Amino acid sequence: MRNRVGFLFLACFLSACARHREALLPALPSIGGKEALTQPEVPLNYAGFIAQTQQNEPGSGVAAARVQILREAAISYAAQAGYRRRVFEIMRGLETRAPQLSEQFNFNAIVFTAPHQAGYIVPPVVSRTRQALTISQQGRESVAADDYYRIEQPGRIVGIVPTWRDYLVLPLDKPSEPDPQFLPRGKAERTFWERALAEGWAAGNQQADEALAINLNRLARDYLGMIEYRRLVAAGMITSLLVSSSQSTITGNKTELFIGQRQVRIQSDAGFAPQVAKGRTIKARLRARSRKRSSP
């Protein structure tokens, strides 16, 4: 049930992103074999995990001094194991959806090739909020706007084009096993221990789901924000980042030698052009009013 709910959310998320895609984003061809995002070792499910943590030695009752020790050890251990198992399930789900994700988040259509093939330029990320309202001065001042734009991240130079994997792939770290002295002894401690294990396992599962949701939101924000940047540049509402480049046949020093060196540098970051945006917005509103008046 948890898998169906989690990936129903992912399917809806991809559908929403598809509605925001522009014509400049062609689908990627299928390259290589089956996606492999998980390790060969399959983490234990909850039943297997419980069976692995067998009681240490006979005993009776739960001493007051051991209650907190057992609880903290069980929750910590189970949370790590539950997180790892849930991440494994998420990665398995992403493996089957890899072609769809590569099509929806096609960074190859958004980044720019740097001059002289010296890497790639990832565009700035621009967020847009409609009907924005900010209250300040302890409720004595408000600022409202029809549209609010913000540069969330500046452009940058990278060696490899980013993909959805850079955002969504989570590590599958093994849990740290508790010290034997913190394991349950006897039936009473075992019962108490298993209740704490269930609590920790659920917390680990929830943490993995939250990590996926956070990363999905960040992926969508960056990807759609780069598209928004390109749209604003085309509209003249933002100045594009300025890139300079140079070439040297041979350069170096006593310890380094570069042959055919090519250097690319971002000289100036992108920035909004309020005056241009103001003129274009006024013209657009006048055209809208004119159409409204002429309509029957």
Per domain, the residue ranges of the chain are 1-110+163-234
pLDDT tens per residue, range 160-181: 999 999 999 998 888 888 888 8
Lowest model confidence (mean pLDDT) among 52-61, 119-128, 277-286:
52-61
Instruction: Give yes or no for a contact between 227 and 110, defined as CB atoms under 8 angstroms apart.
Output: yes
Sequence letter at residue 280: R
Entry pTM: 0.74
Instruction: Single out the residue of 16, 250, 24, 223 nearest to residue 124, CA to CA.
Output: 223
pLDDT tens per residue, range 214-233: 999 999 999 999 999 999 99
